[in-house]
Amino acid sequence: MTAKPPKSVRPEGWSAETLLVHGGTLRSQFGETSEAMFLTQSFVYDTAEQAEARFKDEDPGFIYSRFSNPTVAMFEERMRLLEGSEAARATATGMAAVTAALLCFLKAGDHIVAARAMFGSCLYVAQELCPRFGITCTLVDGRDTGAWQRAVRPNTKAFFFETPANPTLDLVDIAAVSRIAHAAGALVVVDNVFATPLLQKPLQHGADIVVYSATKHIDGQGRCLGGVVLCSEKFLKDNLHTFLRQTGPAMSPFNAWVMLKGLETLPLRVRAQCETAARIADRLAEQPDVRVLYCGRPDFPQAELARRQMTGFGTLVTFELKGGKAAAFRFLNALSLIRISNNLGDAKSLITHPATTTHQRLKPEARAELGISDGMLRLSVGLEASTDLAADIDRALAASRIG
Ligand SMILES: *Cc1c(COP(=O)(O)O)cnc(C)c1O
C-alpha cells in the first residue's frame, strides 16, 4: 500500500461551499496559502529503514506519483468530502475513471447491464471493450426500471449508467435500479458528470461507485483533463487501489492543482450556469418550431424523477429544431457568441450537433432508438450574461428559419 495522506475530518456543519475551499488541504512546512503543486515523480527517504517501512505501509508518506502525490491527494480528499464517500482516487481522464471503475473488479465470465443512452466512449467500454475480455454486456433503455430487472442474469456483476444521459438527458431512477442490482448481487456504477457532484448524490440513492470526468464542471474553465472514482474503503482496498497503482492512469499533479482551484468556485459557477440554462430553456420552449428537453421544466418527460433525485437541474439544455439537420446547421453557423464544440461544463457556452459529431459513429436506426434526431442540438451553458446568450440564440433561430 502506498502512503495515505492524513484525512482531514469533516468539520461539523461545514457546507459544500466551505469544504470546497478548505477541504483536504495539506500545507507544507512553508505555510503556503494556496495549495502547493508537487511536480515530482518520486520521493526520497531519510534512511533505508524508512524506505522499507514505507513499502510495507507502516510509514505514512509518498513513494511514487503513479501511486499517490500530495497535490493529487488534496484533490482526492476534497472530492471525497464533497461526495461524502469513504474513498476517492483521481485519474488522468474521465474515461480512465470509467474504465478503471469497471475493469478493476470485473473478470471473464461476468455480465454487466448498461443503459443504452450514454457518452460515446462509455458505450465503447461497455459494449465493445468488456466483451473482448469475456465480460458480456446487455444494453437497456435506462428509463425503464423493469428493463434492468429483465436483463439480470445469474452472473450479473455491475449496473452502469449515466443520469442525466448525453445528449437526451434521459434519467435513470438510481434508487429503484440500485435495489434491483443489489438483490442480484451487482454493484452500481454511476457516471454523474451531467449532474455535477453538487446536484445529485448517487451514493445517497443507493449507488456503490460514482465516477466523474473532472474535465467538465470540476475544472470548469476548459483547461485540463481529469477523472475521479468515489467508492467505499473496501472497494478501494479489494479492487481499485491495486488496479490503478499497477496499470498507471494517474492524474498529473499539475492537473490536480488546476482541479483544486476549480473546486473552489464550483458551487458559484454551477449555480449561475443552472440559472441561465433554465432561463434559456424557457425561452426556447416559447418557439413554435423548437422542442426543448431540460430536466427542470414541467414538460420534461421525467420531470417528477428529476425533482425526486436531483437538487438542481443542470447546465445542459437539449433542443430539437423541427427543420432537421439543415435548420440545425444554419442555427450553428449563425451563432457568434456560443461556440461550436463537443465539450461541456465550460465557462464558455458550447453547442454541439450530436448526430454528426459525438454520435455519428452510430447507425441512423441506433440514433433513432436513442431519440437523437437530426435537428437535435446540445447546449452547454456557460457563465456569460444570459441576455447576451439569448440575443445570440434569437439571431441563430431567425437564421435557422431561412432556408
Ligand atoms: C466527458 C465525459 C466522459 C469522459 O471524460 P474525459 O475526461 O473526456 O475522458 C465520460 N462521461 C461523460 C458523461 C462525459 O461527459
What digits encode the pLDDT tens for the residues 323-361? 999 999 999 999 999 999 999 999 999 999 999 999 998
Class of domain 267-400: alpha beta
User: Given this model, what pLDDT does residue 74 score?
Assistant: 97
What residue's CA is closest to ligand 1, atom 6?
Answer: 94
> Under a CB-based contact definition with an 8 Å cutoff, are residues 372 and 355 in contact?
yes
Ligand 1 and 352: CB distance under 6 A: no
Give how far the C-alpha of residue 191 lies from the chain's centroid of Cα atoms, to the nearest Å: 5
User: Given this model, what pLDDT does residue 9 score?
Assistant: 52
Ligand 1 and 217: CB distance under 6 A: no
Alpha carbon of 25 to ligand 1 centroid (Å): 26
Ligand 1 and 166: CB distance under 6 A: yes
Ligand 1 and 193: CB distance under 6 A: yes
Instruction: Write the CB contacts of 348 (distance below 8 Å, at least 6 apart in sequence).
Output: 222, 339, 382, 383, 384
Alpha carbon of 194 to ligand 1 centroid (Å): 9
Half-sphere exposure of 16 (CA within 13 A, CB side): 18
Tell which one of 91, 93, 95 to mutate to probe ligand 1, the residue whose CB is within 8 A of the most ligand atoms: 95
Nearest CA among 142, 141, 135, 172 for reference residue 157: 135
User: Given this model, what pLDDT does residue 13 score?
Assistant: 76
Alpha carbon of 166 to ligand 1 centroid (Å): 10
CA dihedral angle for residue 136, residue 98, residue 369, residue 277, rounded to 10 degrees: 170
Give how far the C-alpha of residue 260 lies from the chain's centroid of Cα atoms, to the nearest Å: 16
Ligand 1 and 225: CB distance under 6 A: yes
Domain boundaries, the chain: 16-262, 267-400
260 burial level (CB within 10 Å; 0-12, 13-18, 19+): buried
User: Given this model, what pLDDT does residue 195 score?
Assistant: 98
Return the CATH number of 16-262, one of 3.20.20.100, 3.30.1280.10, 3.50.30.40, 3.40.640.10. 3.40.640.10
User: Given this model, what pLDDT does residue 1 score?
Assistant: 34
Alpha carbon of 330 to ligand 1 centroid (Å): 28
Listed as ranges, residues in the chain with pLDDT below 50 are 1-6
What residue's CA is closest to ligand 1, atom 1?
Answer: 213
Alpha carbon of 135 to ligand 1 centroid (Å): 22
